[in-house]
Chains A and B, each alone.
Chain A
Amino acid sequence: MTLAVEAIALVKRYRGKGGEVDAVRGIDLAIPTGSVFGFLGPNGAGKSTTVRMLTTLMTITAGSARVAGIDVAADPDAVRRRIGVALQEAGLDPRQTGRELLRLQCRLYGMSSAEAAERTEELLRLVELEDSADRNVKGYSGGMKRRLDLASALVHRPEVLFLDEPTTGLDPASRLTIWEEVRRINEQGTTVFLTTQYLEEADQLCDEVAIIDDGLIVRQGSPAALKDELARRRGDGSVPTLDDVFLDATGRSRARVAGDVQEVQA
């Protein structure tokens, strides 16, 4: 079994004016090639930080990582050629049109002008943006921006695709479109690493998930295995959801969450 992403004792320490923050505190990952991997965790858990290290955007403080078989720290350029990235804030240039943005992206991955034009049309069709392709990105809705961002991560048919919260802020229909897209991309052989706040999303899409809390991985396995494990531990015959696994793993029980809500209401 080859691994698309492998991390060993990965650490990120931010040094800022307000002192040091250990955002990621030694995590191990082993994601098989061809799978969809879900990275879950509460806000501030270290998901984006991990993605930024794996995608060469940030230096690794300690430990090591390999993506598509290549050491991230040793040969970041080779990693960049093999990965596609859509970050949490869909970073798009507001002053270009969708078509221009995709063409530019194609050119940056070494395509000729003609190849870039062809691939751009293909991708616009794929994410259903043909009709708005000549409008400035500034005027796109949140869902359109996400789809364009996804398309721009796919220009070079990456081996590993990183999606940091690809569906946050989307309406249910747009979310389903992205899910379908992720499945289709994965069927074509691309390994997908996605972070999400939506546990149902992870349940639906992912072969395997990891839950990170405060910089440490607290659960890892297939959604079914994690649910089974919790059911066995509870032993009361109730059927847990991935939500329950998440709450259990991050030390937040339903009772406490309900209590918090009541306090707010009072």
Chain B
Amino acid sequence: MSDTTVLGGRAVRESLRTPDALIPTIFIPLFFLVVNTGQVSKIFQADTTAFLQGQGYAAFQLPTSLLLAASFGSSALFLVEEIEGGYFDKLRAAPISRVSIVFGRLWSEGIKSLALTALMVLVALPFGVRVASGVAGFAVLLVLIALWAVVFSGFMQLIALKSRSAAATQAGGMAFFPLLFITPNFVPRDQLSRLMEIAASFNPVTYLMEAARSLVLDPTFQWAVLGKGFVVVALAMAVMVALTVRAINDYE
């Protein structure tokens, strides 16, 4: 555990020293938030659209942007750089649990995501977006998104470990792209076309999005919706951890 936190601290430092990797993580999701909201906010107005529960459309879109910000997996690109540069082998030659080399990075991704998510919610406040479930709901939202950031980065790091190539890792990130958009991204799931609804129902990210959205829009906790979101993220985490442990132990 202490190896993980020592290495995690280093990964945090590395992120702070590489603002060019951090900036897109904030601005691309904010860009989508502004553009998507601008495109449809006339159609979906607060007083005539039931699913907005009294808020503007930006509140409905915010969870999408939060999830997008948590799905960059920049830690995997740092990892692949470390593999290519040889520092990874130096760490592997140290008497530490090898798993901590990758888990340290995940730990820092979680911390980074907590900060980024809080920042983005703060940025959205002046535009009238409110987290209807209150301070407790805000805390739950941060945890949910940060867990997803860890899961997503974990899968990206897995590609980095297996491919050892920056190009492949980047391409691997693209494969996750549909996951974010085959979702009830613009309207609730029951208002999607039948085909889209079925596809979205098979997509784990849908349940995260719905959980995050309920925290933003619903004044009370929707336990069933939240439960599904956390179960999905926990299952994905379990799969990711199992595959990562195997990949790092087989690495040579």
A residues apposed to B, CB below 8 Å: 55-59, 77, 80-81, 83, 85, 87, 89-96, 100, 104-105, 107-110, 136, 149, 152
Are A96 and B95 in contact, with the CB atoms below 8 A?
A: no
The answer for the CA separation of A100 and B82 in the assembled complex, in Å, is 16
CB pairs A–B below 8 angstroms (11 shown): A55-B93, A58-B252, A80-B93, A81-B95, A87-B90, A91-B89, A93-B82, A96-B14, A108-B6, A108-B96, A149-B90
Contact of B10 among A59, A85, A104 (CB under 8 A): A104
The answer for the CA separation of A12 and B96 in the assembled complex, in Å, is 25
Are A91 and B85 in contact, with the CB atoms below 8 A?
A: yes
Total contacting residues, chain B, CB less than 8 A: 22
Given A95-B14, A100-B13, A107-B6: A80 in contact with B94 (beta carbons within 8 A): yes
Q: Does B88 reach chain A (CB closer than 8 Å)?
A: yes
Contact of B93 among A59, A83, A96 (CB under 8 A): A83
Are A108 and B3 in contact, with the CB atoms below 8 A?
A: yes
Q: Does B193 reach chain A (CB closer than 8 Å)?
A: no
Residues 132-190 (chain B) with a chain A CB within 8 angstroms? none
Are A57 and B93 in contact, with the CB atoms below 8 A?
A: yes
The answer for the CA separation of A92 and B92 in the assembled complex, in Å, is 13
Nearest-CB distance from A143 to chain B (Å)? 17
Contact of B18 among A56, A95, A105, A108 (CB under 8 A): A95
Contact of A85 among B14, B18, B87, B93 (CB under 8 A): B93
Q: Does B86 reach chain A (CB closer than 8 Å)?
A: yes
CB-CB under 8 A from A93, the residues of chain B are 10, 14, 82, 85, 87
Query: B13, B89, B91: which has the most chain A beta carbons within 10 Å?
Result: B89
CB-CB under 8 A from B14, the residues of chain A are 93, 95-96
CB-CB under 8 A from B93, the residues of chain A are 55-57, 80, 83, 85, 87
Nearest-CB distance from B106 to chain A (Å)? 18
Are B86 and A91 in contact, with the CB atoms below 8 A?
A: yes
Are A108 and B91 in contact, with the CB atoms below 8 A?
A: yes
CB-CB under 8 A from B86, the residues of chain A are 87, 89-92
Are A104 and B252 in contact, with the CB atoms below 8 A?
A: no
Known contacts A58-B252, A77-B95; 4 further A-B pairs (Cβ under 8 A): A56-B92, A96-B14, A104-B6, A108-B6
Are B94 and A96 in contact, with the CB atoms below 8 A?
A: no
CB-CB under 8 A from B87, the residues of chain A are 91-93
Are A91 and B90 in contact, with the CB atoms below 8 A?
A: yes
Q: Does B194 reach chain A (CB closer than 8 Å)?
A: no
Given A80-B95, A95-B17: A57 in contact with B89 (beta carbons within 8 A): yes
CB-CB under 8 A from B17, the residues of chain A are 95, 136
Residues 1-40 (chain B) with a chain A CB within 8 angstroms? 3, 6-7, 10, 13-14, 17-18
Are B10 and A96 in contact, with the CB atoms below 8 A?
A: yes
Nearest-CB distance from A17 to chain B (Å)? 13
Nearest-CB distance from A154 to chain B (Å)? 13
The answer for the CA separation of A56 and B92 in the assembled complex, in Å, is 8
CB-CB under 8 A from B252, the residues of chain A are 57-59
Nearest-CB distance from B101 to chain A (Å)? 10
CB-CB under 8 A from B82, the residues of chain A are 93
The answer for the CA separation of A91 and B86 in the assembled complex, in Å, is 4
Nearest-CB distance from B112 to chain A (Å)? 15
In the complex formed, the residue of B with least CB distance to A136 is B17
Residues 197-239 (chain B) with a chain A CB within 8 angstroms? none
The answer for the CA separation of A90 and B85 in the assembled complex, in Å, is 8
The answer for the CA separation of A152 and B90 in the assembled complex, in Å, is 9
CB-CB under 8 A from B95, the residues of chain A are 77, 80-81, 108-110
Nearest-CB distance from B3 to chain A (Å)? 6
Residues 113-142 (chain B) with a chain A CB within 8 angstroms? none
In the complex formed, the residue of A with least CB distance to B15 is A95
Are B94 and A109 in contact, with the CB atoms below 8 A?
A: yes
Nearest-CB distance from A134 to chain B (Å)? 13
Given A57-B252, A95-B14: A87 in contact with B89 (beta carbons within 8 A): yes
Are A94 and B85 in contact, with the CB atoms below 8 A?
A: yes
Are B13 and A108 in contact, with the CB atoms below 8 A?
A: no
Nearest-CB distance from A195 to chain B (Å)? 15
